[in-house]
Structure 1
Amino acid sequence: MHGVIELSGRYRRRRALLSACAACALALAAARAGAAEALAEWTIAVYLDGDNNLEDFAVLDLAEMASVGSTERIRVVVLVDMFQANVLGLGSTRRGEVIKGSFEEAWAALDAMPEADMGSPATLDAFIRYARESFPAKRHAVILWDHGNGWVPPDVDLAADADDRRKATPVRAVCHDATQGSMLSIADVRTALLAADPPTDILGFDACLMGMLEVAYEFAPCAAMMVASEKTIPATGWPYELVLEGLAASDDLSARAAAAVMVDSYGRRYLGDEPLAATDLAAAVELVSALNALLDSVLGAGGADAIADVAEACLASAPFDYYGYWDLGGLLDALAARASGKPWGPLAGAARSAYRTAVTAIAEEVWPPATGLTIYVPPPGASPLASYNATTLRFAADTRWPEALAALAALPLADDAFAPNATRATAKEIASGTEYRLRLYTDYEYFWFTASAGGRFTAVLKNFPEYADLDLVLLDARGIPVAGAATMSGAEVVSWSGPAGAKYYLRVELYDGPRSPYTLQVHENVDSPEYAVAEGNEAFVPADGGAILPIADDDGGLRVELPFPFTFFGAAHDAVNVSSNGFLSFGQGVSAYDYMPLPMPGPPTGIVAVWWSDLLPLAQTRITATVTGEAPQRAFTITWGDISMWGIPGGGVVTFQASLYEGTNAIVFRYKDTIAGSARYDRGASASVGVQAEGAGSAVLYSFAEPSLQDGLSVAFTPVAGIFSRGDANRDGRMDLSDAVTVLMQLFRSAPVRCADASDANDDGAVDIADPIRVLGRLFGGGEPLPPPYPGRGIDPTADDLGCTDA
């Protein structure tokens, strides 16, 4: 037949076979696609080592996981080990998937296992394999839960002196098993992760001090992202219920996005009190390359001056551990600034840019400033630990950082410009209102100053509590101590009132730790003109029917959305942080228990101190939120009901509240029960009461460590009209580029003018083009300070026809 080719039987069979194979292949591909579709998005494997003094917190964190439990998208798998005679009275080791339910239900659903050695790399390797094989998923996370200490190996060398406090710290590397007396080294963890198939997408450390460049570089071949803190982790650890809820609600479950959820959840739990960061480990490798290029120049043509710049840049950053773990972002920022105009300046800038690329998400803390990763630099005058070498660390093997550390150790100690001042006779004068960056290289340093005309002042020493412990003492003109400092995390604060113009000395003392940087500032205490204070006896707002806030932990807190916008010290807010320690904060921080006189450096910042003290929630305590009234005249009230205090005998309690008012932006404190049964605590004798703006400037202190409160008392803080800050045209509490834009919009786009006095930057009585020019000149051209009130807030001292419609 023309045009038709008859196929042989053999060819037809082959074609049929090929068609069948193709169909099989398509079916297999479809089956695989279906299986892949059925896979969970994530398996999160938590290596929960509670076989040590963190056992109680292992129970709490497992309970947090169980409150959400595994889902089809997010599977949570644990290996949990505790003491054999443990707080549960149950078996010490369990393994399996975490189901939703109570702690007891979740524990019972796990498989009982023989006692595990959590400090053995074989145990970690077996757990990772178990999680991969038994709970396959599209992506995998491994979280190591326990003690941690950065890069330092278990057999770290220690100084010979018997009083070296490092010897008293049993924690080295990560995951300490007290029963077995073992601990994982960084190399152990790396070996286990390298054997994992498929590779790990996120490596998390719910363990202290693991957010280091050395650690990130070590794990770059084994994971895509690392989530860790450069600081010590609170005993309560990661907020697992928030992490799991956040992952469940997220549409983007890539490794980077999931790591950001972990970081964001941590920030929501600790609200500025604790840092956590996510690091792209591939980008961390690029950072190491950029840093090494910089080191080539510094150690080569840079010479001694360049090494000195590195030393000064280090002291300008923040240390986070006694060994010398310094914030790398702060170090590179300071180094880039010092290198400006020098041959190796572009390399310093490139390293800083690479750092910012590597750190993809961060939950910041107020003090000390943390940017994501630390790097090892011994304290000034100390030699590097011998363990910091190419055998212990890939970072030490692949970079010139050990050479840089040797060069730094060989530098002579460079004290600050006030030295010598180790005695009162050599004390140096400091000016009020200036923050000095100093360093303590002796046991004592002395400074003197003259009190202002009002005679009221506060002296603030900010140090680095995980690195060194410094004390501050106020002495009179004869050298007699008159006041010691109140201590909070990272700060020593002395508040005093005396004769105007009197001379005082400040003595800074090294209590514990190595030679240390610190800051020191004295500022005048003047109650802010922004609030009028009035005492009264307003009726207590009933808390019945209000929302009970889930704040049951000591030093706990919660961010709460406000039912209406509220302006506090000129800045608008739509949420507030509620602390179990008797205060609200509009800035950051909720855990501070060391009450301070106001103003103070924070955290917390933007504080409404109703009864700020070391309070303790009991079983009967209720912290509630209540909304009363109708818009636009509503009140939002937080009540601390039946709350106790640390150290009070018999568990006595107090009850008090604070109301925020819509429209007027007034604040009212009310006190129902002020007698807890101890003169030391009753009526606010161990509390701070007042309000303070973000920063250490504007504040109104009602009382500090005085029994000034009583049952039935109310204290109202009412905003004073006409208060503004020159140049802050958009009324966000600061002057920046957006304020110049705001004035231009007012001039040429008829944008509303909220405060003409604030827009009138040059104080000539008119809002015109000269005002944004004045703002820009001050911001970017080194122009003169704006006329008062600037930079603080106050009333316009110049008579004109302008005003503030929203003041």
Structure 2
Amino acid sequence: MNQLLSHVFVCLLLLLSTSYSHAAEPVKEWNFLVFINGVNNLDSYGPLNINQMEEVGSSEKMNILVQWGSYTNPNVTRLLVKKDNDKANVTSPIVQNLGGADMGDWKELVRFVEWSQQNYPAKHYFIVVWDHGSGWHIVKANNKGAHIQDISQDDRTGNFITTEQLALAMNESAKIIGHKVDIYASDACSMGMVEIASEMQEDVQYYIGSQDIEPGEGWPYSTFLTKWSSQVESLSAKQVAVLLSKEFMAAYDGGIYGKKPVTMSVYDLSQISNYEQAFKQVGQDLSRLSPADLVKANKAASDTKYFSVWDYRDSLDFLFQLEKNGITAASFAKLRAAQNNFVITNDQTQDNNTWGVSVWLPVDNDDYSEHAQRYEGLKFQKNSGWGVFLKRMILK
């Protein structure tokens, strides 16, 4: 009996000590989570960016946590980024080895968020997906059939995270942390699109994406984190998102990455419903055009600013091109006003035809037919009916 009581007493002590340890775990202001999928030809840039993070490192107020998949390493690892003075080697401790985890599985992103919340709790979350990006649909990269699929393609498994799955990941993440994800961002190409932002509007506060391709170096993590870490408690989520966008532009406007054409935008997703409704009115007005004016609208679409993907075009430049072709409507002013509220900052080193938001705007039947069925399932199409106008313009 004495041995039994002693065993129970020891168990109770262990339980109490475990509970106490968990309760005493510090809850920091921010978790900066970077899901680095280097299981592809971007692999060499992973160490570059992690070394930049190590110039700053985690602090008493912020955790910098990385899930790192590398083509040269069969094991996916999780790192708690620590400050060091070694710019050539990643020295941060591996706090978990995931073996051959699939970086093209959206549930792996959710597991990363859940693990972070359980082991490194924080009040606010900035979630980044790092990899190739292709906007809301697959993009063929060359005439040999190579292609990029949405985001986070794992070349080992062949899997990738679709736009719809990315939204599911943010929905699950919001449930895990108990509130909307403060900031979601893609350190990837072509993700500055209303269609992608719309998918996660119920679960994310601020969305960051680039309309154009991003150079391989990606974000300037060192300069961004240096400024953010010095004022973690004083900056709001909105200010943090704007800071990232400004630092990205500065890095490629004579900064640490030299001079290159780049774009970056921040969207306030609390304003996206009004933006979608403004798009709906524009689409309805354009759908009523005569066949002759629909030809003019198609010409305007062809002349509208695009970046690396032919059928992703700048939303407001489309309005300018329509007006140049003699097509006007009162709804144009409403869309411009709605975008002014939706886009918090539009930072770019390009030209005046870049206004911060890309939208699907195919100009021929091949592009339209390839993606039209999937487009019908997107929230943006359901809320705005934009595809109705596209169909009429293309098929006339």
TM-score, normalised via structure 2 length: 0.83
Q: Tell me the equivalent position of 1:398.
A: 383
CA contact under 8 A between 1:336 and 1:352: conserved in structure 2?
Answer: no
Q: Tell me the equivalent position of 2:96.
A: 111
CA contact under 8 A between 2:287 and 2:393: conserved in structure 1?
Answer: no
Change (3 A) 1:269 1:357: same
CA contact under 8 A between 1:40 and 1:74: conserved in structure 2?
Answer: yes
| Residues 279-300 of structure 1, C-alpha deviations (whole Å, 9 max, x = no match) | 1112122111111022122223
CA contact under 8 A between 1:388 and 1:396: conserved in structure 2?
Answer: no
Normalized per residue, the structure richer in strand is 1
How far off its partner does 1:309 sit? 4.9
- Tell me, yes or no, if structure 1 residue 240 matches structure 2 residue 240: no
- Tell me, yes or no, if structure 1 residue 100 matches structure 2 residue 83: yes
Change (3 A) 1:166 1:323: farther
Task: Write out aligned runs for 1:52-451 (5 A).
Answer: 52-83=40-71, 86=72, 92-101=75-84, 102=86, 104=89, 106-153=91-138, 165=142, 168-196=145-173, 197-198=176-177, 199-250=180-231, 252-271=234-253, 273-300=261-288, 302-304=289-291, 307-335=294-322, 345-367=329-351, 369-380=353-364, 382-389=366-373, 390=375, 392-410=377-395
How far off its partner does 1:392 sit? 4.2
CA contact under 8 A between 2:311 and 2:367: conserved in structure 1?
Answer: no
Classify the secondary structure of the residue corresponding to 1:133. helix
In the alignment, the residues of structure 1 paired with residue 331 and residue 285 of structure 2 have an alpha-carbon distance, to the nearest angstrom, of: 8
* 1:241 aligned partner, one-letter code: S
Change (3 A) 1:167 1:367: farther
| Residues 501-543 of structure 1, C-alpha deviations (whole Å, 9 max, x = no match) | xxxxxxxxxxxxxxxxxxxxxxxxxxxxxxxxxxxxxxxxxxx
* 2:100 aligned partner, one-letter code: E
Change (3 A) 1:165 1:109: closer
Change (3 A) 1:367 1:52: same
* 1:259 aligned partner, one-letter code: A
CA contact under 8 A between 1:307 and 1:404: conserved in structure 2?
Answer: no
How far off its partner does 1:398 sit? 3.0
In the alignment, the residues of structure 2 paired with residue 383 and residue 58 of structure 1 have an alpha-carbon distance, to the nearest angstrom, of: 33
Q: Tell me the equivalent position of 1:452.
A: none
In the alignment, the residues of structure 1 paired with residue 300 and residue 117 of structure 2 have an alpha-carbon distance, to the nearest angstrom, of: 44
* 2:185 aligned partner, one-letter code: G
Higher relative contact order (CA 8 A, sep 6+): 2
Task: Write out aligned runs for 1:591-740 (5 A).
Answer: none
CA contact under 8 A between 1:323 and 1:378: conserved in structure 2?
Answer: yes
- Identity across matched positions, percent: 22
How far off its partner does 1:334 sit? 3.7
| Residues 82-112 of structure 1, C-alpha deviations (whole Å, 9 max, x = no match) | 12xx1xxx66321032111136453444432
- Aligned residue pairs: how many? 360
How far off its partner does 1:219 sit? 1.5
Change (3 A) 1:316 1:387: closer
Change (3 A) 1:82 1:292: same
Change (3 A) 1:347 1:105: closer
CA contact under 8 A between 1:287 and 1:358: conserved in structure 2?
Answer: yes
| Residues 622-680 of structure 1, C-alpha deviations (whole Å, 9 max, x = no match) | xxxxxxxxxxxxxxxxxxxxxxxxxxxxxxxxxxxxxxxxxxxxxxxxxxxxxxxxxxx
List runs of 5+ in structure 1 lacking aligned partners.
1-33, 159-163, 412-807
Normalized per residue, the structure richer in helix is 2
Change (3 A) 1:35 1:252: farther
Classify the secondary structure of the residue corresponding to 1:295. helix
CA contact under 8 A between 2:58 and 2:81: conserved in structure 1?
Answer: yes
* 2:263 aligned partner, one-letter code: P
Q: Tell me the equivalent position of 2:256.
A: none
Classify the secondary structure of the residue corresponding to 2:91. helix
CA contact under 8 A between 1:148 and 1:209: conserved in structure 2?
Answer: yes
CA contact under 8 A between 2:301 and 2:363: conserved in structure 1?
Answer: no
CA contact under 8 A between 2:51 and 2:90: conserved in structure 1?
Answer: no
In the alignment, the residues of structure 1 paired with residue 339 and residue 225 of structure 2 have an alpha-carbon distance, to the nearest angstrom, of: 28
Task: Write out aligned runs for 1:425-504 (5 A).
Answer: none
| Residues 7-62 of structure 1, C-alpha deviations (whole Å, 9 max, x = no match) | xxxxxxxxxxxxxxxxxxxxxxxxxxx999x6422211111001111110011111
Classify the secondary structure of the residue corresponding to 1:296. helix
How far off its partner does 1:339 sit? 6.8
* 1:183 aligned partner, one-letter code: F
How far off its partner does 1:278 sit? 0.7
* 1:60 aligned partner, one-letter code: L
In the alignment, the residues of structure 2 paired with residue 147 and residue 365 of structure 1 have an alpha-carbon distance, to the nearest angstrom, of: 21
Change (3 A) 1:188 1:372: same
Change (3 A) 1:224 1:339: farther
TM-score, normalised via structure 1 length: 0.42
| Residues 761-783 of structure 1, C-alpha deviations (whole Å, 9 max, x = no match) | xxxxxxxxxxxxxxxxxxxxxxx
CA contact under 8 A between 2:81 and 2:93: conserved in structure 1?
Answer: no
Q: Tell me the equivalent position of 1:469.
A: none
In the alignment, the residues of structure 1 paired with residue 201 and residue 356 of structure 2 have an alpha-carbon distance, to the nearest angstrom, of: 16
In the alignment, the residues of structure 2 paired with residue 55 and residue 347 of structure 1 have an alpha-carbon distance, to the nearest angstrom, of: 46
In the alignment, the residues of structure 1 paired with residue 278 and residue 315 of structure 2 have an alpha-carbon distance, to the nearest angstrom, of: 13
| Residues 357-407 of structure 1, C-alpha deviations (whole Å, 9 max, x = no match) | 111112212258422111111245645043333554222333322221222
CA contact under 8 A between 2:103 and 2:160: conserved in structure 1?
Answer: yes
* 2:31 aligned partner, one-letter code: T
In the alignment, the residues of structure 2 paired with residue 285 and residue 398 of structure 1 have an alpha-carbon distance, to the nearest angstrom, of: 8
Change (3 A) 1:404 1:99: same
Q: Tell me the equivalent position of 2:34.
A: 46
How far off its partner does 1:329 sit? 2.4
In the alignment, the residues of structure 1 paired with residue 294 and residue 276 of structure 2 have an alpha-carbon distance, to the nearest angstrom, of: 18
